[in-house]
Structure 1
Amino acid sequence: MKVIFLDIDGVINSNFWLESHQQEISDGTLIDKEKIELVAKIVNKTEATLVMHSGWRFWFDNTMKPIRKEAQNLINLLLDSGLSIYAMTPDLTTEEIRKTKMFSKVKASEIFLWLEQNPNVDKWIVLDDIDLHNDDLAIRQVRTNAEVGITEKDVDRAIEMLL
């Protein structure tokens, strides 16, 4: 099994998108469909599975059912591109981490715990825009630029890493 650990902010939406689409931010419909198509390109080429490791996972209940309109919109847009979220990484955050949104402090540990719980994974990568403070993870990370989100170059690198 191949896995893509998917972050949302800075990958399938970006600061550029945020600045130019203020209405979408306020009404909870903010996701760049073109970026989802780029993720779909990776999935279609590699047959990888998506595992969410984004702060967005707190917008789902423990059965992965959306509990906020932003999460439902994300699921709908993924489905439109033939994608779905297979699972989510476990939550190792503390109240302090959630309050300060310093998820990077635990994201690597959450990914490694998920991998430990799912030993059938052959290859995996991480799509994220931030430094996850772990050298073993860094060699498997396609680090996107938060200003623009995922690019064709990132897609090529991801595919190469998963094939």
Structure 2
Amino acid sequence: MKILFLDIDGVLNSNFWNDANEREISEGKFIDTEKVLMLSKLINETDAKIVLHSGWRFWFDDNMNPLRYESIYFTEILKAHNLFIYDKTPDLTTEEIRKTKKFSLVKAREILLWLNKNDNIEEYLIVDDLDLNNQEIEVHQIKTDATVGLTNENVVEAIKLLNAKTH
């Protein structure tokens, strides 16, 4: 099984998109549908399962049912492109990390913990705009630029990395 650890902010939206879409954001629609099309191409060409490792994962219950309008909208947009969230990473944040929003300090450990608890992972990739401060997983990360989010170049690279063993 191939896994795509997906961050949302800075990946499926961007500073540039946010500035141009204030009305959508005021309606709780934080997702750039152009980025979802790119994600769809990535998933269709790799058959990877999406594991949410964004702060957005707190907007879902343990069965990945959305708990807030933003996550309901996100789920519906994914579904429209035949995409589904397989799972989410565990939460290792502390009150201090949540207060200072320094999630990059624990994201790598959360991903490694998820990988250790799940068998049959042949390849994994992380798409995130943050530096995850961990050399072990750094080679498995495509770091997006938060100002533009996911790009076609990121998608081509991701497909190549996820399909490396099967081609």
Give the aligned partner of residue 11 of structure 2: 11
Could you tell me the percent identity over the aligned residues? Answer: 52
The alignment partner of 1:8 has SS state of coil
Give the aligned partner of residue 81 of structure 1: 81
For residues 128-155 of structure 1, give each alpha carbon's deviation from its aligned partner in whole angstroms, at most 9, with x where no partner exists. 0110000111111011110010001000
Give the aligned partner of residue 119 of structure 1: 119
Q: Does 2:48 align with 1:45?
A: no
For residues 56-93 of structure 1, give each alpha carbon's deviation from its aligned partner in whole angstroms, at most 9, with x where no partner exists. 01111222111110000000000011100000000001
Give the aligned partner of residue 25 of structure 2: 25
Number of residues paired by the alignment?
163
Could you list the runs of 4 or more consecutive aligned residues of structure 1 that deviate by over 4 angstroms after TM superposition?
A: none
Q: Does 2:56 align with 1:36?
A: no
Structure 2, unmatched stretches of 5+, are none
TM-score (norm 2): 0.95
The alignment partner of 2:70 has SS state of helix
Aligned-partner residue type, residue 41 of structure 2: K
The alignment partner of 1:56 has SS state of helix
Cα RMSD over matched residues? 0.7
TM-score (norm 1): 0.98
